[in-house]
Structures are given as C-alpha cells and as structure tokens.
Amino acid sequence: MHNWRNLPFDHALMSHRPLSRRNFVGVMAGALAVTWITNARQFRLSTSSKAPASRVLPGVLTAEQRRDLDALTALIIPTDETPGAREAGAVDFIDHGLATFASDQRTLFMQGLADLDARAHRLGGKAFADLDPGAQLALARQMDAEKSDFFGAVRAATIAGFLANPEYGGNSSKVGWQLIGFEDQFGWQPPFGDYDRDASPD
C-alpha cells in the first residue's frame, strides 16, 4: 500500500489521465482514510437507534468554511468525465465527521481553514473558493510541498467521503462506489466465484 502522504499532490489531479481516477482512489485509500470510515461506521452503529428521520446531518463549519473546504476537496478528486468529491458530497461527510466521530480533528481543520483563508487573501484578496483555479491549485501545491498536516487530513477525509457508506454523510448517490465498481449488495449467495461454481447448495 502506498502512503498517500508521500505521493505528490499532482498524483491527485486525475483530469487528464485515462483510467487513473479509479486506480487513484484504490491506491490512496490508505490508513487515515480508512480510519475516518471506520470511525464513521462505529458512530453510526452506536447511534442507529437514536438516528433522526431527517437526512440532514449535524455540522460545525460556517458557510464560508464549507465553500473553501469544498473547493479544496474538488482539487483532490476533481470532476471530469466522472463525478468527483463535489458530486459525492465529501464536504458534507467531513463537516458531519468534525461534529461527531472526528471531533478530535476539529481544531486542526479550523486552524487549517483559517490559514487557508489568510493565504488566499494574501494572494488575491479573496476567499480560497473565489480564487481562479490556477491560484487555488498553486496554494494546494504549496501546502502539499510543506507537508501540511491540515492538507494531509483533508486529503484523507476527502477520499473517505468519496468512498464511505452514504449513510455516513458522503458518497452521494453512491458515485464513489460506482467509480470503483463496488457492488452494493451487502449479502451474497453461492456460488461466490469460479472455485465453487459447480457446488450444489444444501
């Protein structure tokens, strides 16, 4: 398994690389992304009996913070011929996580978003989400080159939000699962594969 922290940020820019998007998601779903998904699942199981009927999940980010974070996630898994982080609702997953199962990372994200906003205003006098795509990319590359803990955490959380069970707040319309060819069945019957295709069920 590759370590996503050691991969250059350009590895995450999949727009012009045939078949690389699916490979990217598989390679980059490393330990930290899995931790987000695992914690989300455990939280969901622990609160399932108390879950509200509404699909709207709690969050802690302001509207401005959500816009900036959404723009950053869209650089990590961009939209091209297939849906990206934006269509998957990665920012919803992250916002819900920071309010609940990933609350231990809330300070990191709040400080990181404040730093991102300050960098954007120094660069162009605008919020990060309002910068032109080239300026956004330059800032993201800068944070990646600095091995920013915030940028690394956003990358892991974006991948998790792209691939997690939609019940956890991301992977809207199951776009992440469709991209990697995951069959949303959660239950199988024999034959499971070529090895037992000729076996007769009891």
Q: Residue 2 has what pLDDT?
A: 34
Per-residue model confidence as pLDDT tens digits over 178-202: 776 766 655 445 554 554 455 555 4
Closest CA to 95 of 170, 196, 145, 23: 170
Closest CA to 165 of 178, 180, 177: 177
Domain-wise residue ranges, the chain: 4-47+62-177
pTM above 0.85, yes or no: no
Q: Residue 46 has what pLDDT?
A: 66
% pLDDT > 90, the chain: 40
Q: Residue 115 has what pLDDT?
A: 98
Closest CA to 5 of 26, 23, 32: 32
Considering only residues 22 and 154, tell me which one the structure prediction assigns the higher pLDDT.
154
Mean pLDDT of 148-167: 88
Q: Residue 13 has what pLDDT?
A: 43
Closest CA to 163 of 61, 44, 37, 59: 37
**Distance in angstroms (rounded) separating the CA atoms of residues 90 and 69:** 9
Per-residue model confidence as pLDDT tens digits over 162-172: 887 788 777 76
CB neighbour burial string for 137-173, b if at least 16 within 10 angstroms, e if fewer: eebbbebbeeebebbbbbbbbbbbbbbbbbebbbbbe
Q: Contact at 8 Å (CB) between 25 and 176?
A: yes
Q: Contact at 8 Å (CB) between 147 and 87?
A: no
